[in-house]
Structure formats: structure tokens, C-alpha cells
Structure 1
Amino acid sequence: MNAWPNEEGDGMGPPVTRTGSAKPPTPTLKNGSDLRESGYLIAVGSRTARFRRKHKNKMLIACLIIVLLLLLCLFIAMTVLYIKQKRHKTVKVCESRECLRSAANLALSMDRSVDPCYDFYQYVCGNWGAEHPRPDAFRSYDWFRDKQTKVYTAVRDFLNKNTTNQPKPVQQAKDVYTSCMDTDKLDKRGLRPAIKVLELLGLPSYPTFLNITDVDYSTYSFDWVQIVINVKTKLNMDVLIGFDIVTDPKNSSVFRLIMGSPETTNPFPSMFNENKQQKSKRYHAHNKEYYQRYLFNGVNNANKKIDEDKEAEIYKLFYAHLIKMFVLEADGVKKSNLSEVELDRTIFLTADAFYSMSDDMYELEAANSTDESLFLDIPEYTVDKLQKNTDAIVELNNATAIPIWKRYLEGIFNISEVTLDFEKDTILVSDPDLKYMSLMAAYVARTPPVLVELYVWIKVIEVMGVHTTSELRALYERASEELQNGHAIASRSLQCANVVNDLLGMAISYAIADQDFFNVTKPKIETMLYELKNALAHLVGLTKWMDDDTKLATYQKIVEMKTLVGFPDWLLEDGRLEEYYKGIDVHTEKYMENLISIVQVKIKNGLNKFRTSNNYTWATDPTEVNAYHTFQENTISRQFDKNGNLLPWWSNDTIKAYINKTQCFIDQYSSYYIPQLGKHVDGKKTLGENIADNGGVKEAYAALTKHLRKGGPELKLPGFEDFSSEQLFFLSYGNLWCGVSTVEALKSDLEDEHAPQHLRARGALQNNRDFSRIWHCAPGTPMNPDKRCTIF
């Protein structure tokens, strides 16, 4: 049979022979029924089919499970490999010199054993003092002073170098430094340069009060107004009368005359390294330590304060020695009819008389108001009206009134190119300053002329003397050490570098300026400032206590805000530096004359600007390590509008809401306790700066986050690869306030409008929610308090 025939025969194999008993052959199948009946087809529902299907499904499921397990194992393996790769992924680290320096400073300053959520200042600055020991020359030493000292060191090193092809003012700066460093020449010249200055001013070589030559006091006259004019025009120094030219509070494009208590009491640079006094005494508290700092770099640097009697004795002995040196220099002993003992007694009595009058004058100045709000509306007077008010007070004190103010102003402007119109040119005088001027005139009117001369004489000599001989400098240093219980003095080279930098700061800046700063660094800083302004505008927009009109005015002010970065743009232009210092005459062997030449040019330039427009120039030298804001040159201040004018631009409702919010800051900072002093911070006095700190750090952080979203993550600092950019931001902010202070320095800090530095870091960050989030501080920890004070 051939069931499925093929070419080879039967497709199922060879033919099969059946026996006779075999079943007959099956007929040809015609259809499906036939197939089923014949047994060729089995029904699908048969047990055989189910059995085969069941085992086939099990095998399929098993295969699927195996595949899923393999995929799961593969996923786990890939995840592990990814995590390992992530952990060991090469982090992009900034290796520039600036980044390495920043990383090293942070690492050496930090105390990582401290929980940042409990004491962030200690965490950031715990080891700063050990790495930056306070030099004996300073009562306190902080981040700013450390950087400033490095700048002065760089200035000193430049001044010691031999350079060529520099502009004339740069060479003049080197010449001033040379004259300052030549102590042999200074000693050889003795006090003669100072005596020549006294003659130039119309003052004697030594005080007439000594009466060495039997002067008839009853007929002695002293034209104190003319001498005070001479002191101002020759030395740019205020004695008895304070005078300045300032930006008009209500129109920042013009200048105004302003008078009051003495402000520029030392026109020459300090030979010590205390902080510069940037604040105007006219609008701030008169502090005795501030008053004395010009001479002795502050007082009382140790834990135990010397008593007032001892302090007075030190001062009187200092002035007595000062007077005697000039008596000896002018051969006064030979002219005297007194014995040496009598002369010494007379000199000490003279010093005592000066000290008494100095105390009286200090009390008159100290009576000046400390209320800064007085600056908001200073009255203006004609010269005649000012004189009438003064005359009335003088006559009430049973003294004879004399013309003062018109004569004084005419004498001042005689050295300038400006002629005053006394009918139109009014003078700004605050009420406290008017009181001082009237009482001062009355006091001088009833004081013997010989005593007034003594007062002016010593006020002039005490600022010049330290710039003369080694003997006289040693006298200053001994008095300073006694007042401050062992206070040390900076090296002569740093002192002289400080002098040159203060007098010729732009020339020094030119010498150390780097063209890359203008091309590379400055554009980056300007971009940063642009981002900060945008962040500030955004924060203002989110405030609920400002109404829409005030917000709009604030936006306009932000747009108009001016920034001065690094160095003036004109600094490296040919000829501009020579024009800036035109008229200065300098010699390598005439140190005192160099100082006077420079300050005389400055006073003339200051007077000549009276009729000019305000061009918003630099308020400080570029070499100073700090940042300043000038209200009238447009900063965020509710008193001054976008043009820097003293005009109301906040609505009354906004002002009320602002005042309500400030009470929180007053209470917060007043709760900060200084255990070394047993006193609390004055939250009201420090309110303005505290709000600035709080708003500033929040504004800066907002700018950073937007910068990171736009530009992506920044390079890591070496050694800080595990810190985020946000954490580094707060580390840098905290590090800014690192420092060490003596108890007396802390005491001075409490008299300032700034809170002590460690509390500036603490307060601003306690109020910052982003800080506690970034550092994962649990609620209720010191750096994540339940109550926060906010403005923006």
C-alpha cells in the first residue's frame, strides 16, 4: 500500500503484507466524518489533547518566569553597578589658585566636630582664631582686617620695588613712602618742619600760656577765627568749627554747604592700623573712645580697664612731654626766667589746662544728638540768620559776640575758584549742630585768649607730632601702651604703606591693578550684581506688606541703582591719573611737607566742586577691603528715592507695615547676650544693619539658585566634594564673620550700629528657612527656631 506515495514508493515505508485474518483495507476517505469514524482524527476535547496542552503551558510559564528572573537579576546588577559608578564617578573639581585658596581657608577655619544646626558660627569659624592669631597691634582681628593687612603688605612690597615707566603720581607715592621710611632724616630735621607749619598757621613755636617771657595776659589777643581758617585751608583740619561740602539731601545732583561740630579732626593718615572711621560724627553718636582714637588708636585693650584718674594722668603727662619737646626745640628754656623745676611745673599746669578745656569741648560735642533721623530734614540758614542765633546765645552767657560765620566761609573759599553768594548760598545746620555752634561761640567768648590759643596749638601738634622724630613717636607709643596695657605698634613699613595708601590710594591702585581684572573679573562681578538686583526685585514682588505703588517705586530704584566695582574705569587711561593728582608737590626728603602738599590739593579740589554737578565718584580707595553704600547715590533706603534724593517714596501704609515687622528684629537681637560683658546687644541701635544682613543673605541665595538653574552645577571645591553649592554658599557667608576679639573690642562693638560679628552670622541664618533646609536642621534646633523674623 502506498498511503502517501512518493518517488521512492510508499512515503511511510516499504509495503506491508497483511495476513488473511487481517482487517480489510480501508476505503478511500471522502470527508471529515469519514476521518473521524475511521479513527484518523481524534476530537479536540479528548483527554490526550488536554494532557499535551497542559504540559505545553507549564513549559511556557516556566520559561517566562526564568526570563523574568534573569531580567530582575540583570536590573539589580545594573543598579548596583550604577550606584557604584555614581559613588566613584569623577567629580569635576576647581583647581584654580583662587579655589584652592578658598578651600584651604574654609577647611582650616572650620570645627567639624560641632553640629552646624546647633552652632553654625562655631562650625564655620571654630578654628579661625588658631589659624589667624591676633597680632599685638590689633584689639580685634577678623576676616576683613586679615585681608586688609595683606593688601597693605602688597602695597608695602610694591613701594619697596624699583619700577620704571610709571605715571608721575605712582612715582610720587614711592617718594612719599621713601620720605616716611627715612627715620634718620626725620630725626635730623627734628621738630623744625612742624614749627614751620605752626608759623604758617599763625601759631607760636610753643604755647603762650606757658608765659615763659612774662606775657601780659590782660592785653594778649588771639584771633581764633582767622587761625581756625588757616588750619582748615592749610591742613584741611577742623578745630572748633566743623565744615564740609556734601550732596544735597533733597537734590543729589548738586552740593551744599554744611556746618556743625568738628568732623575732620585728623587730616593725616593714622600711623596705627585701627579701622577707618567711615561714619560721619555729625549724624552719629559722639563716643569718647572714637574721639581719642585719632591719637592713641582707642583705649583700654585689656580685660581690666584703668580708672578715669589714671587715664587723665597719662594724657596730661603725654601733653606735658609734647609741650616740653617744642620748648626745647625752640630754645624756650634759654628765654625763660624760670628754673627747670618751675618750668616743668608750669608745663604740667599748661597740660592740665588744655585737658580741662578739651573735656569741656568734648561735652559740647557729645551733647550733639545721636538720632540719625535728624539727617532726614536738616534746616538751612543764611549766614546772617546763623550769626543772629549764635549772637543771642553768646549774649545770654554774658559774653561779647563777634562776627564768625561769614568771615569763616569767606576765608575758606579764598583759596578756591568759587565765590559765595551769601543771599543764595544757604548752609545746612542740624538743630544739635546749631546748639553746639552757639554754645561753642559763647564758651570761647568768655575763655581767656591765651587758653584758646593753647587748645588750638595742641590740637594741631597732636596730629602732626607722630609724623616727626623717633623720640616723639616713642612718646605716642608709650602713652598708647599705658592706656591699652601693653598694646603693640605695627611695623614702620606697614605704617608708611598705610600713609601712602590713604593719601594716594588711586596711584597705588593703578600700580597694583591688573588688566585681567577689567577684562575677566569685573564682567563676572557685574553679572553677579545684575543677578542680585533681579533677585531683589523678585523678593520685593513676593512681599505682602508693600503696596503696589511702593513696589513699583522700588523696582525703578533697583533699575537705577549704581555700582562701583574694583577700580574706576578711567584708572588705566593715559593721562587720567596725572590729572587726578594735579598740583601735588612731593620730595623724598620732606615728609611733613609731602603730607601738607597732598591735603592742601584735596581741600582746594573739594571747595572747587561746590558749583559742579555731582558725578557720583568713589567714596573710598579701591585698595580698601570692604563694601559701602551711599544713600544719596541710590541704594535701597526708604528715605532716599531712585535718584538719591530725600523725598518720600514709600506709602504711609507700607511704612507702618515695615515698622511692625522690624519689631521682631529688635526683640530677636536684643535677646543676644554677651557673657564676657554681661550685656545684651542693642537691637534698636543695630536694627538697620541687621535688616540689611538678613535681606542681603536671602537676596544672594535667591540669586545663587537662579544662577544654578540657568548655568548648571558649579565646580566643586577641593576637599568639599560632598558639599552642595548651596551649602558652600552658607559656609562662605559664615566665614565672612570669623574673627577674634578682646573684651574691650567687644565692648566697642556694642557701641556700634553693627551687632558683634558672630551674632551677625547667627541672626541672619536663624531667620533663613533655606539654611535650615539645606543643612537638614531639625525643627526646634538653635539654627531652625520656631519663630523667624523676615522682611523679604
Structure 2
Amino acid sequence: MADREARAPTDEESAPLLQDAQNGEATRRPSFTERVGSLLAEPLTAVNKVLLLLVLVFLILSSVFIGLFAGSQHKLHTTPDLPEDSPPSTVTSVITAPPTTVTTTTVTTSTAVPVPVPAPSQPPSQEEACLTPKCVVLSAAILSSLDPSQDPCENFYEYATGGWRKSHPLPSDKGRFGSFNALFQENQDIVRQIMDADGPPSIASLSSSYDKQLLSKVRDLYASCLDEETLDTFGEGPLKDVVRHIKSLYREESTEISSAHDEKPRKGLTAAIAYLHSKGIPGLFDFGIEGDAAVDPNFMVLWFSQPSFGLPSKEYYEEKSIRKLYQSVVERLLAVLYDDDEDDISTRVNAAKDDLIINKDASSYAWPPWPWPPWGGDDDGDDGDKPGHGPIDPHSLAKKVVKFERELAQASLDLDILYQDPLATYNKVPISNITDTITQINLPNYFATFTPRNYPTEVIVTYPAYVRSLADILNATNPDVVEAYLVVRAALVLAPRLGTSTESWKAVRSLQEVLQGIKPGAIGDRAEYCVNSVDQALGFAAGRFFVNETFGGDSKEKGTKVITDIVEAFKVSLSNITWMDDTSATAAAEKAEAIRVKVGYPVSPNTENALSLIRYYSLVKINKYTYFDNMLSASASDVYKEWQLLGKVRDLEAWEMTPATVNAYYNPPANEIVFPAGILRPPFFSQEWPSYLSYGAFGQVAAHELTHAFDSAGRLYNQQGKLEEWWTNATSEAFKVKQDCIVDQYSAYTVDDGKGGKIHINPLTNDVTSGENIGDSGIIQAFRAWQAQYEDSYKAGNEYLLPGLNFTREQLFFLAFGRIWAENIKPAAAVQRVRTDPHSPSLYRVEGTLSNVPEFAKAFNCSSKAKLNPPPEKQCLLW
């Protein structure tokens, strides 16, 4: 899960494993046999003859299907007869990895030892399997995801996902694609249907005027994104208008940046950076609003941190080839955005907009007044061409911009501390510590852009050294370079919203292609991109219709039960944790009990109330012909809403993710775990699945988020979400020993860099992933929760077997867990993930986790020499 990182997405199956799983049946339907009998009792009309023929075809296909299952299972589980003293055999197979890479894997297969059936399973041969069409389809999906040529005790990731990965080749426009992405695409398809004029039948039931108004807003945004003809008409114009405004603001005062000893700050830089931040464009530094973790986690205060950069992480700035590529992209952007035709461009764009008003939909078109920033709208002011700003050399300026940004990146905090150490990143200081240091920025004027009546007196700084470094770097940098940097920051964020024929779009895309391993020139489905835009800008509004379409029946109740069962299993397990003393175990149980569980959709904003959502998005101005401006308005609205939280009490009902999101998260200051409706679908969950699948797949998601409350960072927040050491010293020291074990284990794992080398996913000097790896270890709590409820679930008929699967329920639990991490990924995308993502690559999220779960080795009868069954002294057992 993306948990504590920026969630977008940034971890799905191409077709649902069960169809129409949202609503239960109120009345009993006639059985298949009864319907056939009724048909045969009637005179054979022409229609009946056709229906009878279809029934017979279905019966024949079902027989063939089951026969194929039996045959595949015979191959899957039958081992050639070997002498009792015969050693394991070694088989070398060639497996096609993510496109362009061929990996030769050596697999050691087990001898013909029958797999024992661990308790509490009943032997599959003694029970009748479910033979309904849904069970057959579900069973087929599981079988198709497997690679039976692999030994599960040696290469479980390939065993559980090899079939899926082979049947889901990496799309040319993506650097990575997995089960999370596939499910998100399914969710997107549902939202796309809602965006269509007719829409699914469920839309007709939402007949209120508020729903119609909300739906119209969502559909207009979607239509504006799809209208590529209009985007081509505007060309570079919308971005140039933004850049022109940045320049006019920046050049408002003296062009000389004041020295650290000059008390007169430069207002032009202040206005320009405030404008960028007001539109959600990062640069120089970042202010955010979050709880005061060490005093009152529910009182929202100001946080100061480093910004994001043009390259994904500081390591990229040290690679000469990447730095050279980035410089060329910056040069291309500057060449376009510093041409001499700004007045002409602006005139043409405004004329095009006027033409749209007249010829397309004048009645609905309006440019809304915006009360902030206080210096006026985007088109105010002159063209910024003041003395000293003549023609520029894009090549020379680009080189200086990249050097400037590289210095900022080098001065930033390493991600291991940013992700893993909330104590080190909590530094409350008077606001004067920043105002007296970064004298190039007038913070009172900056804050007036966002919160004119709530000027903060204190601020929490994540990395105090960055404050001093930023001031020094600004002081040593030519003002023209700083201006160009601001222009490039805007272009990198906004250029993807232009038409694909523009030079700015092409320049930014060329950078993305290299960093993510995307095939040059490969452009994905425009509708997919536009649904993403809708979710980004109006996600809770679209989520109302998505939930109405997909999240019915007992999904919320049954999903919540999986989560609460896991919480109870965790509380029970605390008494058996040898490294945790009684005092800490009691406090941990209290924290687990206090965790708020949110499932499906929020009540803030109230997804069940259309009027609530209309008010929530009241500042987002949408017109069906101006996609660029629509997204700019949505970003500005998000920034405005965040700043309104300053000085207020946390809204405990608020969500960070929209309902259609395929993800989940734990929020430490709020002590809450949140699971959107979007992830409560196959291959993660279905209210109609047998419990061993739900607890193995969605149970891992739930256990992962719960375990974050007790990982390397989460354990530092107490039951109320307050940042403090609430474990005893002895327990904290013992936990660090366990954490070091995890760090050592994952530090040995590598990914291919695509250049013939290997990159360690977790260098010992840069522990980025241990928190997420500890979160993944929570799978054992899901397993225990499933076992604890097994007897009652079995009696209720919720542990039924599936046809053609000669696995125990325990084995299917772990297969359900493994399948959700199926993924194909390009080396470039893998490198980017290692450098920027606190989560380990999917292979290690499966095999690294299971090597620390003895119950897995027992379920698959792994030998003591198997890779995934290391000796106890080499296992990192936390729970």
C-alpha cells in the first residue's frame, strides 16, 4: 500500500473473478435443474428449442472445463515415481520476464512426498466442491495465474503469479503493470461508463437535481479532457499564459536577489513562489498542514519541508546520462517558453476561447473570479519584458537550472530518515527561524496568499539544515536562473495537460519514457488518462457514483469483519511476543483497540449526499472546453481547502483517498486505517468468496495497514496518535534487534538496473523500506485471524472448496496472498521504485515476507533446505 507516501498511485486483474458481486438476492431463484425441467415440460417452440440447445452446449462446455481442470491438476501435482533415496532433481527453465529480458532460472523440485493436509482443513477429496458457474470461473482464474513448472518452496512468486504475468504482457505505454493496476483499470472502466451520456442503469436511480448537477460537473471535466481537437487549437498557449504570469510577478520588484544581510526581501520572488504553490506546483520549499504530533495530533499546524524535484530522487542528479537527458528536456521547455511571441500567443489563445464561447456553448461558459492570489488573475499585468530580460540562450540557462536544482536536491533530507524517523523530522521552532534565515522570501506576504487572518507563530520543520542551505543557494544564484527554475517547475507539472502535439508535452514525455522504461512514442488510451484526471480533480464526486454501482450487498460489513478479526488476532498474539514485555504489550493492545477503521467511502465529504459534494467542490470551476484551466482550478481548490485547516481541529471523518482508489493507508496521528471501496473487489475481496481467499488477499491489505501502527515509525505514535516513546526501553531495544534483522535480510535483495548491473533495494546506509517490510510481515496476523474464525465459518458454509484445485485451504490462503502482487516491470521503473518508493519490489514483498512465516513452509511441506524455509535462527520473526 502506498500508506505514507504521496498516493496516487501510486499496487488489479483484467476481469473480475466473480461477476455481479455487489448485491445479494432477496428471494430464492429456481435451481439450474428446476429451470431445465420446466423447459422440457413445455411444448418445444422455436424459442424453446434454441434455449434447449444453449443449455446442452453449456452442459458440454462445463464437462470439458472440469475435465481440463482435472488434467491440469494431474500435471500440477503429480511427480514422477522416484526411488526413496533419490536426491531432488534439478530442472533449468527459461522464463520470459518483463519484455526484452530473458531470465534463466534453476529450480530444485521436491521428491515425490505427498503434501500433508495441515489443520484445520478437511482433505479436499472428502468434500464436494462448489460447481456453480461462479465457482468454476473463480477456480479457473486461480489456475490461470499459476506457473506449475516452479517449486513453491523455492520460487513462490513465480509459482503464484507466473501464469498471470505471462498472460498480461506489459503495455507499451507503461513501465510497470500489476494486479493493482489491472483492478484500477476495471474501476476506471466503471467510472468511464458513468461518464458516458447514457451511463449504467444505476445512474438513472439517482434522480435528484443535486445528483444531476454533480454528474454534469464530472462529465464536463471528462469531456474537456477528451476534446483533443480543442487542446490542439490552444497549443502551448495555456501554459505560456501561466509562465507569462510567473515572469510578471517575479520581475515586479528589483531583479537583484537580496543578500542574507539585506533586510529588504525580494517581493517578486515571494509573489511568484506563492502563485506557484497556490496552484499546487512545487518549488523551493513546501508548506503543509498536519497535526502537531508531539503536542496535540488533532490540532492542525504548519509544517515546513523540502519540495519534490524535477527528477524522482537525488540519486538521479548524480547519474551523468540522466542529468544530460534532464538538461535537454529543460532546454526544450525554455526554448518554447522564452520565445518572443508571448503577446501574440496570448491574443490567439484568448481569441480561441472567445470562439468557443460563441460557437460551442456560450450559455455555460464563464471565467470565474478568483479571490486569491491577492495580486489578481492569471492574465493581469504586462508581459514581464522589463529591461535586462532580452533573448536568452536556452542551452546555457538549462545547464544552470539543472545545477541549481541539483544543489537543492543534495541539500535535502535522505528518504530513509524522511520515511522512517518521525522523531528526527519533528522540529518545532518559532516562525522567525525561517523568516530570519530565508530573507529572500517575505513570509507574511506569502502567507497572506493562503491564510490572511491566521498568521502562524510557530512551524514544525522536517529538516532544519535545509532552511539554511536554501538561503545560501538562493543567495549564490543569478536571479535569471531562479526565474527559469520556477518556469520549469510549472512546465513539468502542467505540460502533460496540453495537447500531445505540443513541444512542451513531448519534452516532458521524453523524460518520463526514460525514467519509467516506456516505449518511445507509445501513448496510452486517452480515456484512461481522462478518468485519472477526473479522480484527481473530482474523485469524491465520481466516487459517489462508483460506490452506487459497485459497493452493494454486504461488502462493507464483510470487509470490516476481516479487518476487525485481524485486530483481535493481533491483540491475542501480543501475549506470545517474546521481545515485548507485559507493560508494552498492554499498551499495544490498547492502541490496536483504539484504531479507527474506515471502509468503503467517507462521510467527510459525505459521499452519500450529493449536496455535500457540491459544496465541497464549489471552488472548482469546470467548463467542458477548457481542460487545462479546469485542472488548474481543481489544484487551486485543493490547496485552498488544505490551508483552511490551519489552527483547526482535525476532521476525524476526512479521507485522503477517493472511493475508487485501489490502495489503503494507515494515518499515524489520527490512528486510523482506511480501505476505499476500490480495493474491496477481486482479486482482493468478494463478499461471495470462501473465507480463506478473502483473508489471504484482502486480509494481507488489512494486516499490512494494522501492522504499520507498530512498525519502525508507527510504534512512535501512542494510542491517541501522539508522538512519544510509549514502549519501555527494554522493548524498544528488543524491537530494534528485530528491525535490524529485517534490514539485513532485505539489504541482500537486488534489482536489475537494465545496464548489466544490480541495485540493492535497501542499502545498509539508507534504510528506506524496513517500515513497509515490517508492515508486510502482518500476513501472519491475517492467517491467525482466518484460523480463529474457521470453525464458525466452516459451519456457515463459508469455507467451501473450489473445483479442480487440489490444494489445501492453507495453501490457497497463501496463493491468494501471492497473487495480489503479480506484476511486470521494466528495469528503469524498478530502479525508480527502489530509489523513491518505501515499498520493496513485489517479488520480495512475497518471498521476503513468506521466508519469515513458518506456517507457509508447513502448508507446502517445504524441506528444511528450501529457500523459503530458512532455519529459525535466520528468520526475522516479529509477531
Coarse TM-score class (shorter-chain normalised): 0.7 to 0.9
Aligned-partner Cα distance in 2 for 1:743–1:385:
43
Task: Decide whether aligned partners of structure 1 residues 485 and 563 sit closer, same or farther in structure 2, where only a CA change above 3 A counts.
Answer: closer
> SS in structure 1 opposite 2:600?
coil
Distance 1:481 1:769, change over 3 A: closer
Greater C-alpha Rg: 1
CA separation of 1:105 and 1:655: change in aligned 2, threshold 3 A: same
* Aligned-pair Cα RMSD in Å: 3.6
Give the direction of change, closer, same or farther, for the CA distance of 1:208–1:318 in structure 2 (3 Å limit). Answer: farther
CA offset at residue 371 of structure 1?
5.3
From the superposition, tell whether residues 100 and 319 of structure 1 become closer, same or farther in structure 2 (CA, over 3 Å).
farther
The structure 2 residue matched to 1:426, chosen from 445, 451, 458, is: 458
In the alignment, what sits opposite 1:454?
484
SS at match of 1:257: strand
Question: C-alpha distance in 1, partners of 2:198/2:339?
Answer: 37
Deviation at 1:238, TM superposition (A): 2.9
Is residue 351 from structure 1 mapped to residue 428 from structure 2 by the alignment?
no
Call closer, same or farther: CA 1:721–1:321 in 2, change over 3 Å.
same
From 625, 633, 654, give the equivalent of 2:731: 654
CA distance in 2, matches of 1:500, 1:457: 26
Letter in 2 for 1:688: G
- For residues 139 and 562 of structure 2, the distance between their equivalents in structure 1, rounded to whole angstroms, comes to 21
2:474 to 444, 453, 459: 444
CA distance in 2, matches of 1:109, 1:524: 25
The 5 Å alignment of 1:119-268 reads: 119-163=155-199, 165=207, 166-198=211-243, 201=246, 203=248, 223-233=268-278, 235-250=279-294, 251-263=296-308
- How many angstroms apart in 1 are the aligned matches of 2:198 and 2:397? 48
Is 1:323 equivalent to 2:359 in the alignment?
A: no
CA gap of 1:160–1:786, structure 2 versus 1, over 3 A, is same
Kindly indicate whether the alpha-carbon contact (under 8 Å) linking 1:239 and 1:459 is maintained by their aligned counterparts in 2. yes
Matched, 1:791 2:875: no
Q: What is the distance in 1 between the residues matched to 2:475 and 2:847?
A: 53
Alpha-carbon spacing, 1:202–1:100, altered in 2? closer, same or farther (3 Å): farther
Write the distance in 1 (CA, Å) between the matches of 2:564 and 2:392: 66
- Aligned-residue offset at 1:698: 0.5
**TM-superposed deviation, 1:775:** 1.6
Kept after mapping to 1: 8 A contact 2:292/2:299: yes
Over residues 345-402 of structure 1, what are the superposed CA-to-partner deviations in whole Å (9 max), with x where a residue is unaligned? 83443434433333333333367884545521522222223333x16xxxxxxxxx45
Alignment of 1:389-788 (within 5 A): 390=437, 401-402=439-440, 404-414=442-452, 418-420=453-455, 422=456, 425-430=457-462, 432=463, 434-472=464-502, 473-478=505-510, 480-481=512-513, 484=517, 486-487=519-520, 488-514=522-548, 517=551, 519-569=553-603, 570-616=606-652, 617-634=654-671, 635-636=709-710, 637-674=714-751, 677-682=757-762, 684-694=767-777, 696-712=778-794, 714-716=798-800, 718-751=802-835, 752-787=837-872, 788=875
Q: How many Å separate the matches in 2 of 1:699 and 1:88?
A: 28
The more displaced of 362-371 and 598-607 is 362-371
Counterpart of 1:46 in structure 2 is none
Q: Does the Cα contact within 8 Å between 2:243 and 2:337 map onto a contact in 1? A: no
Equivalent-residue separation in structure 2 for 1:225 and 1:197 (angstroms): 16
Gaps of at least 5 residues in structure 1 are 1-85, 211-220, 267-280, 293-304, 337-342, 392-400
CA contact (8 A) 2:249 2:269 kept: no
Aligned-pair CA distance for 1:331: 6.3
8 A Cα contact 2:328 2:398, kept in partner: no
Paired AA for residue 404 in structure 1 = N
- Given that residues 664 and 789 in structure 1 are in contact (C-alpha distance below 8 angstroms), is that contact kept between their aligned partners in structure 2? yes
CA distance in 1, matches of 2:393, 2:535: 40
2: CA distance, partners of 1:451 / 1:192? 23
Alpha-carbon offset, residue 580 of structure 1: 2.2
TM-score (norm 2): 0.67
CA contact (8 A) 2:751 2:760 kept: yes
After superposition, give the CA deviation of every residue in 1:183-223 in whole Å (9 maximum; x if it has no partner): 1112223344334434555638999999xxxxxxxxxx871
The aligned counterpart of 1:23 is none
- In structure 2, what is the Cα distance between the partners aligned to 1:347 and 1:730? 56
SS in 2 for 1:755: coil
- Look up the equivalent residue of 1:246 and give its one-letter code: E
- Give the counterpart letter for 1:237 in structure 2: I
Normalising to structure 1: TM-score of the pair? 0.73
Structure 2 portions without partners, runs of 5+: 1-122, 256-265, 348-381, 384-389, 672-708
Aligned residue for 2:43?
none
Quote the offset at 1:680 in angstroms: 4.2
Cα distance in structure 2, aligned partners of 1:632 and 1:87: 46
Distance, in Å, in 2 between the alignment partners of 1:763 and 1:232 is 40
- The structure-2 alpha-carbon separation of the partners of 1:720 and 1:426, relative to structure 1 and needing over 3 Å to count, comes to farther
Counterparts in 2 of 1:688 and 1:369: CA distance versus 1, 3 Å: closer
Partner of 2:409: 362
Q: Tell whether the 8 Å contact from 2:191 to 2:542 is kept in structure 1 after alignment.
A: yes
SS of 1:541's equivalent in the other structure is helix
Shift of 1:523: 0.3
Is the CA contact 1:726–1:774 (under 8 Å) kept in the aligned structure 2? yes
Return the offset for 1:722.
2.7
Instruction: Report the count of equivalent residues.
Output: 640
Aligned residues of 1:141 and 1:739 also touching (Cα < 8 A): yes
Q: Do 1:383 and 1:405's aligned partners in 2 also have CA atoms closer than 8 Å?
A: no
CA contact (8 A) 1:177 1:497 kept: yes
In the alignment, structure 1 residue 380 sits paired with structure 2 residue 425: no
SS at match of 1:254: strand
Q: Aligned in 2, Cα 1:574/1:100: closer, same or farther, shift over 3 Å?
A: farther
* Secondary structure of residue in 2 paired with 1:563: strand
Structure 1 residues 450 and 318 mapped into 2: Cα distance closer, same or farther (>3 Å)?
closer
Q: Please state whether the residue corresponding to 1:126 is helix, strand or coil.
A: helix
Higher mean C-alpha deviation, range 645-654 or range 670-679: 670-679
Quote how far apart the aligned CAs of 1:741 are.
Answer: 1.9
Residue pair 2:416, 2:768 contacting (<8 A) in 1 also: no
AA in 2 matched with 1:486:
K
Matches within 5 A, 1:60-139: 91-93=128-130, 95=132, 97=134, 99=135, 102-139=138-175
Name whichever of 470-479 and 736-745 sits farther off: 470-479
C-alpha distance after superposition, 1:631-662 (max 9, x if no partner): 21213331001111102210001111112233
Q: Pick closer, same or farther for the CA change 1:607–1:753 going to 2, 3 Å.
A: closer
SS state at 1:611 partner: coil
Partner of 1:72: none
Worse-matched range after superposition: 179-188 or 306-315: 306-315
Give the distance between the partners of 1:769 and 1:776, measured in 2 at CA: 10
1:247 match: secondary structure: strand
For 2:492, give the aligned amino acid.
E
Given residue 792 of structure 2, which amino acid in structure 1 is its aligned partner? Answer: K
Contact kept in structure 2, 1:245 and 1:257, CA below 8 Å: yes
Distance 2:616 2:562 in 1: 30
Which has the larger displacement, 765-774 or 706-715?
A: 706-715
Mark the CA change 1:665 to 1:715 in structure 2 (over 3 Å): closer, same or farther.
Answer: same
Cα distance change, pair 352–574 in 1 and its aligned pair in 2 (3 A): closer
Task: Specify the SS of the correspondent of 1:565.
Answer: strand
Q: Partners of 2:749 and 2:236 in 1: how far apart?
A: 51
Q: CA offset at residue 628 of structure 1?
A: 1.3
Shift of 1:309: 6.5
Contact 2:153 / 2:867 at 8 angstroms: preserved in 1? yes
Secondary structure at the aligned position of 1:514 is classed as helix
User: 2: CA distance between counterparts of 1:503 and 1:496?
Assistant: 10
